[in-house]
Amino acid sequence: MKIDPKHLAFGFGVVMLSLGLGACAGFDLGDVVKVKTPSGIQQTRGLPRTTTLNEAEAEYRAWFEDTQRVGAQWKASIERGGEIRGLLGQITLSALDDFGPTLAGVPIAGPALPALTGLAGLFIGAGRLRKEKEASFNKGLKEGRVVPSGGTPA
């Protein structure tokens, strides 16, 4: 079956005319084109698996702005916590500087002060140090190879 070129041109003209009239009437091709929605976004925003292009663009803008806002709030909270930690560290060090010379004259407390502060620091930082060592060990297991005491990789 062979299509006459006049019929093909007429069909093409009808399609183009209908698309032009549809565009003038407010028809948007973005409502026809479908895009896939990532599963994480589907779950958090309650979107279907596929959405129209126009809806996906609007949802993306809203999601992106929300993510930036939440990230900025978290960053500000972290920075505020760092400032408080620094302030507490300075207060602690200045208190030790003030009490250090006073306690140096006391026979038992003077020599014991550095040992006591070291033990307190050990107990305070032990959890964080343990987590850092554990994370380093786990990363080494994932990325590295076991090297025997001879020095050559297994």
pLDDT confidence of residue 146: 53
**CA-to-CA distance for 79 and 89, rounded, in angstroms?**
15
Looking at this protein, which amino acid is placed at residue 73?
Q
| CB atoms closer than 10 angstroms to residue 141 | 10
The pLDDT score that the predictor gives to residue 42 is 87
Looking at residue 152, the DSSP 8-state letter turns out to be: S
pLDDT confidence of residue 151 = 53
37 Cβ contact partners less than 8 Å away, ≥ 6 residues apart: 47, 48, 49, 50, 51, 56, 59
The pair of structure tokens assigned to 100 is: 């250090």
pLDDT in tens, the chain (154 residues): 788 888 889 898 998 888 787 777 777 777 778 999 998 888 888 889 999 998 999 999 999 999 999 999 999 999 999 999 888 877 776 666 665 555 555 555 555 666 666 666 666 666 676 777 788 877 777 776 555 555 555 4
In the chain, where the domains are located: 1-32, 34-105
- pLDDT (0 to 100) of residue 154: 47
Q: Are 53 and 35 within 8 A, CB to CB?
A: yes
pLDDT at 124: 65
Helix, strand, or coil (residue 52): strand
Q: How high is the pLDDT of residue 132?
A: 79
Round to whole Å and give the CA distance between 98 and 128.
28
